[in-house]
Every structure is written in C-alpha cells, then in structure tokens.
Structure 1
Amino acid sequence: MIVIGIDPHKSSITASAIDSSGCQLAVRRFVVNAGTAKQLLGWAAQWPERRFAIEGANGLGRQIAQILVAGGESVVDVPSTLAMKVRVLSTGGGRKGDPADAFAVAVTALRQENLPAVNAEDQSTILRLLAERREDLGHERARLLNRLHRLLRELIPGCVEPGLSADKAAAALRTIRPATATDALRRELARELLADLRRIDAGIKNNEAQTRDALVASATTLQEIPGVGVVLAAKLLGHGGDITRFPSASHFASYTGTAPLDASSGQQNRHRLNTGGNRQLNSVLHTMAVCQSRDPGPGREYYLKKTAEGKTPREARRALKRRLSNVLYRRILHDHHQAQKPAA
C-alpha cells in the first residue's frame, strides 16, 4: 500500500508518496486551479494500491479531500499537530518546508492507526454551516446593538431601557427631535444601524427556519433532551460529525473536552481539567448543564447530589457535563442506527 501525503495551501498543494517501509518514492507540487485534482490523480495512477492522507481535510484541504472521496479514493485526515510532531522528531532537526511537511503527513498516516476517514459531506456538514452562520449573525447583532445603544444614549440621556431591540430602537427614534446638526447626524446613523439590525434579525429568522428543516431531514431526537433547542442541536450534529468514528462514550467525552485528564504521578492519583477538545461542543454541554442544574429534572438531581458530596457548584456542573456527554453520545448513536434501518 502506497501512502500519499498532501500538504495543502491556498495556492498550491505538495504531495509525497511513500511505500510501506516509509521510504519516499516521489514528491511533486501542484498549483491549485480547476485541474489540480485531475493532475494529482494522473500522477498517483502509477500506484494502483494507494491511500491519500491530507493535513487539515476540514480546512485548507477540504476541497481536494472531497474531490478525491467523490472519485472513490481512500482518504484520511491527519491532524496538523500530529504531523508536526512526526516532522520534529524525524532526522534533519525538524526543518520545515512543503516537501518535508507532505512527507511527515504520509509517515503519520502510515504509522498512526485510527485516523479519521474523510467521508463525503452530508447533512451534518449542512448543520455545521448553518450553526456557524447563526453564530456569526449573533455576534454581528450584538455589535450593532452596542453601537445603536451608544448613539441613542447620546441622543436621549438616561432614556434607553435595557434589552434593546429593533422595535424599541425605532420607537425611541420617533421621539427624537435633534436640536443641532451633530444630533441630526447621530439620528441618521442610528437609522442606518436600525436598518442593519432589522436585516440581521431577518437573517437569524431565516437561518432558524433552514436549521429546523435540516434537523427534520436528519431525523434527530436531540431536541427531546431538556436544554437542547434548535441551535444547540445543530451545533451538536454539525461539529460532532459521524458519531460512529468514536468507539465509545469515553472517546466522545474526550473529544468534547468534558473528560478530565489523568495527571497521576507515582503514588499520587489525580486528574486535571481538560482545556482541549472541541470547544464548540464543550460550550453546548456547558449551556445544557446550566439549564439542567437550574430546572427540575434528573439533571438537577444529579447536580444536587454532587454538591451534597462536597463539590463546589462549578465542579458539580463539570460532573454534570461529563454525564450529559454520555447521554448525547447514546442518543446520537441511537438516532444513527435508526436512520440506517430500511424503511418498512
């Protein structure tokens, strides 16, 4: 089996082919254009038994990875941090360059087992894109509200209520009678910001409708879990991807950053907080833990149990996040198996 490691960039990709012993057979650089994939496959045709390894197949390497998968090629995703360690520990002092990076990617795929396989984009990709767009719209809305609030405060001192919205801002603008040219400009800028805010609100509403349709198409039951709404369900499925790539609930918890890290040494047995993992999923679990620890239900009962054991509120929420990670894993896996069953 020949492994072809690919180091992708915006304007070029570098491919390095190695054999089963790790010996480099060939290396070539391709300029990124409409014919890159065809040139790459033509060059790789000399090795019928091959597997592609792409660094960052969900980032800069996404396009070439999806083209190869669509063509029936076997493709794995190599984390950049793992390839970097291989390059640094290799002979040559870890000198960096596109050929060396591509070779390190290929060696990583050759030696490392259980690298995630790249699959064709599916419903989870759609949900991830919608969730990312929703987050961008939310940040933009908050920025607009802050700027609008500042202008209204300058025009109506002490008369801007908290919880500003487009309707409240419009009502406040109708009462303003500017006395100077500067205040007239402030009112005009506020009207422009109000128009932008209404556009963002419409975009958020449209995004939510699209997300609901995508969740229906995915046949998920995540929204039956307390604390999981449309936005959180989209984030869970979008950023979680194919749930079957996690062998167990513990692997999924490690990916979400809710499983504590073992920091034992000698006779000392202890664990420390995991600050790694997918921070988007970790944020979702935090929101769920806050909601469930506040509202009546099994989540609050577990939270109170942990606080009764002497844990601080923060430690109890972390324990609840770990438990919720198991619940989510089982639910998503169950939905996946149900979707795989043939229709009656």
Structure 2
Amino acid sequence: MVVVIGADVHKATHTLVAVDEVGKVLGQGVFQARREGHLKALGWARRSFKDAELVWAIEDCRHLTGLLERDLLGAGQTVVRVSPKLMGATRRAGRERGKSDPIDATAVARAAQAHPDLPVARHDEASRELKLLVDRREDLVAERTRMMNRLRWHLHEIDPDLAPPARSLDRTVVVVTLRAQLVELESLVAQIAVEVLDDIAVRNAQIRSLERRITAAVELAAPVLLELPGCGPLTAAKIVGETAGIDCFTSEAAYAMFTGTAPIPVWSGQTAGKVRLNRAGNRQLNAALHRIAITQVRLGGPGRDYYDKKRAVGKTSTETYRCLRRQLARTVYNTLNHGMAAAPDAAMPAAA
C-alpha cells in the first residue's frame, strides 16, 4: 500500500493530509514549520501507516519547503514536488468547496497521484548554491534599477543634459565622471544624487563579484552546458539552480512540461493540429530557454536554421520561438542528463 502525504506549507505551520491509493483521506495533522515539527510529522506518519510505503508530496515553493525537504530526505523519505498550478487545478476539480489548508494539502496529494512523473526531490548542494547566488544577484540588480531610475529623476531636475546614456550606469568610468560633475553643485538635490550614485557604485561592485562567483561555480557544476550556443554563465546557472537535479525527471518530456515548453494541443471539431502557449511550469526556466533561443537566432547556426525552416512553412515568429524552446528543453535535458558536450552541430536536434 502506498500512502501519499500532501503538505500545504506556510511560514509557521505545515498542514499534512494522507490519502490512500484511490485518493481517500486517511488522516491529517498540523505541525510546526521547524525541525522539531518535521520530526513529529515523520513520527506521526510512521506510526499511523506502519505497513505502507510513504510518499511525501510537497508544493514546489522552495523558499518555504527547503528545510522540510532536507529533513525528510535526510530521514530516507521519498519527496516529490508538485507545481502550485497543478495543485490549484486539482483543488478546483475536487468535491470540497472553499479553500482551507487541509483542502490544499489534499489537492497536493491527489495531484501527485494523478501525475506519477513529477520531479523527485533530492539533495543537490551545487544547484542549491547556484540558485542562492543567482537569486541574490537578481535582488541586487532590481535594487540597482530602482536606484538608477531615482537618480535619473534627480538629474532631470538638476540638468537634463547630465543624464548619462542608457544602460551605462553599470560602468565605473561613467559613475566616476558623473559624480565629479555632481559634487561641484551645491543644491540639496545634487547632494542626494551623489548619495544615490554612491549606492549604485556599491551595487555594481557587489553584482560583479557575484557574477564572478557564479561563473566559477557553474564551470564546476555544469561545464557542458556552457558549450551550448547562446548559453552564458548566468543563464546556465539559472538553468542548473531551477532544475535542481536533472536526474529527478523521468524523461525529457517530463522536463519539458516542468519548463513550460511542452505544447498544449488546441483540438475542437475540425480545428486540429494546432497548439497554444503552455503557461504552466517553471517560468524562470522558460525565460532562460527563451534567452538562449533569441541568442541562437541572432548569432546564426543551427538555431537560426531551425528558425528559418519553421518560418518557411508558414509559422509565425511567436510559434517558431515556441517550437525552438521545446527543442532546447530536449537539448538541455540530454546535455545535463548524459553530461555530453553540446557541439555546435548538435546544439539543435532536428525537429520531429
């Protein structure tokens, strides 16, 4: 007997609901979102279902579930990750009305039963470290962007001619030159602008330092991914960090579904053979694959040849990029799963 335990996670507590092989609720409990609470939850599950094989289904919110996953995996348990959108669809299809933590946990468990090819969580320190570094860099970039926008408003108030060229405030020479111009002014706006500019300079240094760390880490974790045309260190780090272990996927089709690149058929009556955008899956991975696709089309090579071939048969640019992302998902899966170097000629598999 297999018992699936669905978890609805929050900062303070985790609500667990156990279901049997046909989705019938067998029990539920609420436990503290601490290591002590996780151990109590594990003890509850083992006592309640002694002769059953336990599978823990956890909603894929790794900023909330990271500690729970590590504690369960450390205890030798099987943990699968359920997409929030997948859980939401299962909840809406259920017979229970309303929304509560037990209803959500039940939906997570039943979604895991209905989709046996979900990614299985495992310890992967390399991908976790890359995700932390990439997330930190993105936070700093977002902060720097807000500072740059504020600085440009101050410069417009002082003198519009002081505004530097677009996308140039990450360059040290531009920051130093602009600061020298601002310190000669005596207005309060200029003083504030100098302070904001100094903050931007600090963020620039932090971002460059993180980029060097990310590049060094991804060269150790996935050097073959860097050989894929159009895939730079930051994009490769994003892919490795969000994938969190390629061997937790049962097939390249499962990985394509996880990345949101698997096409969704539009078939009704005489309308057949069309597909539409898949809005599910990990959007961060989807965006990373799109960046690779854009770069390959711009630089030429197999990616550009594939793009031209699809355009020649009547597909729009949007449809062609959608197909290209699906091909890239297959390439990334094979590259990471088998560790093979992606030579330029093998960067883009032929379309089926």
Pairwise same-fold verdict (TM > 0.5): yes
Q: Secondary structure at the match of 1:102?
A: helix
Alignment partner, residue 340 of structure 1: none
Report the Cα offset of residue 290 of structure 1.
2.0
8 Å Cα contact 1:294/1:300 also seen in 2: yes
Asked if 1 retains the 8 angstrom alpha-carbon contact of 2:35 and 2:67, the reply is no
Tell me: CA distance 1:65–1:329, structure 2 relative to 1, closer, same or farther (3 Å).
closer
Point out the structure with max Rg over C-alpha.
1
2:194 to 191, 195, 198: 191
Distance 2:317 2:222 in 1: 35
Counterpart in the other structure of 1:120: 123
Map of 1:201-216 to 2, 5 A cutoff?
201-216=204-219
CA distance, structure 2, for counterparts of residue 229 and residue 246 of structure 1: 24
Matched letter for residue 140 of structure 2? L
Relative to structure 1, the CA distance from residue 336 to residue 58 in structure 2 (aligned partners, 3 Å threshold; closer, same or farther) is: farther
Contact 1:24 / 1:103 at 8 angstroms: preserved in 2? yes
Alignment of 1:48-67 (within 5 A): 48=50, 49=52, 50-56=54-60, 58-67=62-71
- TM-score normalized by structure 1? 0.84
Would the aligned equivalents of 1:18 and 1:106 in 2 still touch at CA under 8 Å? yes
CA gap of 1:75–1:279, structure 2 versus 1, over 3 A, is closer
Does 1:254 pair with 2:257? yes
Question: CA shift at 1:223, angstroms?
Answer: 1.3
1:102-121 pair list within 5 angstroms = 102-121=105-124
Deviation at 1:204, TM superposition (A): 0.9
Tell me the CA shift for residue 256 of structure 1: 2.6
Q: Once the two structures are aligned, what percentage of the paired residues are identical?
A: 37
- CA distance, structure 2, for counterparts of residue 202 and residue 174 of structure 1: 19
Matched position secondary structure for 1:168: helix
Selected match of 2:139 from 136, 140, 151: 136
Q: Distance in 2 between matches of 1:24 and 1:312?
A: 48
State which drifts further: 7-16 or 188-197.
7-16
**Is the contact between residue 56 and residue 62 of structure 1 (CA under 8 Å) also seen in structure 2?**
no
Matched, 1:154 2:160: no
> How far apart are the structure 2 equivalents of 1:25 and 1:52?
14
SS at match of 1:60: helix
Distance verdict in 2 for CA 1:137–1:116, change over 3 Å? same
1:22 deviation in Å?
4.3
Counterpart code for 1:15: L
Q: Distance in 1 between matches of 2:221 and 2:11?
A: 32
Provide structure 2 residue ranges, at least 5 long, that are not aligned to the other structure. Answer: 342-352
Asked whether the equivalents of residues 57 and 78 of structure 1 are also in contact (C-alpha less than 8 Å), the reply is: no
Q: Which amino acid aligns with 1:101?
A: D
Q: Secondary structure at the match of 1:76?
A: strand
Give the TM-score of the pair, scaled to structure 2: 0.83
C-alpha separation between the residues in 1 aligned to 2:114 and 2:164? 61
Structure 1 gap ranges (5+): 338-344
Q: Is the 1:170–1:194 contact (alpha carbons within 8 Å) kept by the matching residues of 2?
A: no
Q: Which amino acid aligns with 1:13?
A: H
- Superposed displacement of residue 233, structure 1: 0.6
Cα 1:229/1:85, change in 2 over 3 Å: closer
Question: Which sits farther off after the overlay, 94-103 or 70-79?
Answer: 94-103
Q: Could you list the per-position Cα deviations for residues 140-167 of structure 1 after superposition, in whole angstroms to 9, with x for gaps in the alignment?
A: 2222222222222332332433143243
Superposition deviation, residue 230 in structure 1: 0.9
Q: Which residue of 1 aligns with 2:4?
A: 3
Give the 3 Å change call, closer, same or farther, for CA 308–84 of structure 1 in structure 2: closer
Corresponding residue number in structure 2 for 1:16: 17
SS in 1 for 2:236: helix
